[in-house]
Chain A
Amino acid sequence: MLLLTGMLLAVSMLSSLPLFAISAEEIIRKLEENQVHETARSEGKMIINDRFGEKVTTFKSWAEGEEKTLIEFTSRQERGQKILRADDEIYLYFPDAAEVIRLQGAALRDSVLGSDMSYEDMTGGKGLLDSYNANLLGTEQVNGQECYKVELKAKGRGVPYPREVLWVDSEKFVNHRVHMFSLSGKLLKEMRIEEYRSLKGKIFPVRFIIEDKMKSNSSTEFVIESIEIGVDIPPSRFSLEELTW
């Protein structure tokens, strides 16, 4: 009798919990694998919207893995400004002053040109699992797609958001939506992925919008207009020489 009760209890407990063949960490790893390319060359724009209208910043970028990125701004106001990420450091180049500034530490979390993206966000680098503990909350439908709902809680204080919730497509392992919360649990920002592209076996977002929930009419739209993957990029591309050229 006791054995039967125990078995029933166990079955009842198991049936009340969602059963997943995949862990939260594995979902995050697959998501990041999709977003990191051996080498990539792309062109795009960042559209910052606020109550005064929109500001458009265009750029070209070159990337090798997670650690090396060079971004060159091509819009008139910022023309020639560059960001180089290499060896866990970020270098900024301002052509008018022919000046190179090296960013380290907390400065990596500063926003790029007043957008909702930080230098660290824009140039890659640290993986999510380096900074967050992941927890699988369940599955939900987003835009008609079955998604894993994954909660990320910061391991320490060195991250912009202490808690994030991601809706990751359960088949393609791409984000559909991300919510970023304050320490008190207030929703600060929402990222919606509007468009994806599939290239060489990888699926990654090419248009997404980050909406500031604390301000009315404030958002940053990020658009990759062209991208090539697996291209030859000389090592000198990620050097001081190229940064100051």
Chain B
Amino acid sequence: MVGPKLHAPGYFAIKTVVLLLLLTPGVSAESDITTKLELFNSVQRSADGSWLHSGAGSASIKIDQTGNSNVRSQFELTAAIIPNNTGIDSLQSISRAYGKFRFESFRGVIGKAPFSWGEGLIFNAADEIFGRGTGANLMQQEFEDSSAWITSFSRYFGPFSFVEMLVNPGLIPIPEDAQLAAAGGAQPAGLEETRAGVRIVTKPGGMKLEGGYLFDGRDGITEGPAPTALQAGDFYHRLYLSLQGNLWLDWHVSSSLELPDPNHIADSAPAALWKGQLYTVGVYSMLPVGYDDTLSFRFEARVHPAGSWTQDHSTNYPTYGIFNYGEVSYDFGGGFSVLGRALLNPIDLSARITPGFSWNLFQGFTLLGFATVQTGEPLDTYAWEAKDTEGNPAIASSGLAMQLGCSIIY
């Protein structure tokens, strides 16, 4: 995951931290260091029809704390490597920096940590804010995790049940303006921009049941079933319920309701209730084939009843009522597998289709190859030749792209 480019002082601070950690003799006894490189040659067709060729990749160094059964922490520095004519440039981010601790009765996490609520690989009504959604990049071996600054406390009751309370503060805006930066930078977000919530996970019978509530104080929200630019000080209430079980196939169903601040919406209460509904469903199965092979398939759908159910070729980019995701993979044993993934908007009949393969040849070394083709017309969600892409987060990649490379972990 790549975040915004850091300012020079921050960049050198990160480098210093990493070097110190690597060079301090005592660190190795209480920590494990894992390095991961993903290196690709990419060819893609641009919107004007020309073909582009680039080398790109990412590198990450992850340091895990070990040796303490009640405290764990992780620091991960990730850099996207983008060679340019001035030498190899990169965009760095701290993708993880968190600590977790446990007492007999509860457990806590603080820092930039991965977390996911609800069920679903691509579409997850319970995790619409941090989930992957309709704009997911399908050209990756494993889908990127989401991480955010959280402070959470969990209390477990029984082997498969717990309650978690979570706080996610507002974002500190990075000052674009040099004068503002010189004057000390931007102020942290106000308290009213905080997100805070609670969820409960339990397993009645053979079914996993999860329900939660999130107070979302961010204004100008672009995520969620009905993105709306609210005024400063406005907020959302988000409620969700997820079920997961097995009936021949593994299945999951999630529903969520997003209600804006009642004092600042023009809609009537029933209209707001209608607009805020979102549903996601999915099935998944792994089937042994022969004696070594495995066939896996997954299907997910995202349904927003109040979304647009007709094709709209204006530049408004409506929030469409339904999206589908499908994935089939076949593992031949011995570390070689092929896959096909597709995101489909059944209303404008556009799709993002990705075939790929991965081959774990040697210890820690995997060859990877992916291609993506988008089939839609210029103003469709997944367009072959995208035009005026502003406002349509799903149009992020070109009509055709291929990448071949490797992943190395050591």
Question: Which A residues fall within an 8 A CB radius of B?
Answer: 50, 52-56, 76-77, 79-80, 86, 89, 94, 96-99, 102-107, 109-111, 114, 116, 118, 160-161, 182, 188-189, 212, 214-215, 218, 235-236, 238-241, 245
Contact = CB atoms under 8 A, between A and B. Distances in A.
B174 interface: no
A102 B250 contact: yes
B286 A107 contact: yes
Contacts of A96: 114, 142, 145
B255 to A, nearest CB: 20
A77 B409 contact: yes
A97 B142 contact: yes
Interface in B325-347: 331, 333-335
Interface of B: 32, 34, 64, 72, 100, 102, 107, 113-116, 142-143, 145, 154, 156, 158-162, 201, 206, 208, 244, 246, 248-250, 285-288, 291-292, 294, 331, 333-335, 360-364, 409-410
A239 B288 contact: no
Contacts of B335: 50, 55, 114
A111 B246 contact: no
A54 B363 contact: yes
Given A86-B159, A103-B286, A160-B288, A53 B362 contact: yes
Residue of A107, A189, A214, A236 with highest tally of chain B CB at under 10 A: A107
A118 B294 CA distance: 11
Contacts of A236: 156, 159
A110 B294 contact: yes
Contact of B156 (A79, A89, A161, A241): A241
A106 B114 contact: no
A105 B162 contact: no
Q: Is the interface of B mostly helix, strand, loop or mixed?
A: strand
A162 B250 CA distance: 25
Given A86-B159, A238-B159, A97 B114 contact: yes
Nearest to A99: B116
Given A56-B363, A97-B142, 17 more contacts: A55-B362, A76-B32, A77-B364, A98-B115, A99-B145, A102-B250, A104-B250, A105-B250, A106-B285, A107-B250, A107-B285, A109-B288, A111-B331, A114-B331, A114-B335, A212-B292, A240-B159
A111 B292 contact: yes
13 contacts: A52-B362, A77-B409, A80-B64, A97-B142, A105-B285, A109-B288, A110-B288, A111-B333, A114-B333, A182-B291, A239-B160, A240-B201, A241-B159
Closest 5 CB pairs of A and B: A239-B159, A104-B246, A98-B114, A107-B286, A97-B145
Contacts of B158: 239
B363 A53 contact: yes
A105 B246 contact: yes
A160 B201 CA distance: 34
Contacts of A215: 334
B36 to A, nearest CB: 9
A130 B288 CA distance: 20
B145 A218 contact: no
Given A105-B246, A182-B291, A239-B159, A110 B363 contact: no
Nearest to B102: A245
A76 B160 contact: no
Given A77-B364, A96-B145, A160 B291 contact: yes
A104 B245 CA distance: 9
A5 to B, nearest CB: 51
A47 to B, nearest CB: 10
A101 to B, nearest CB: 8
A94 B145 CA distance: 10
Given A80-B64, A86-B159, A245-B102, A97 B246 contact: no
Contact of A55 (B154, B363, B410): B363
Contacts of B100: 245
Which of B115, B206, B294, B363 counts the most A-chain CB atoms under 10 A from its CB?
B363
A79 to B, nearest CB: 6
Contacts of B145: 96-99
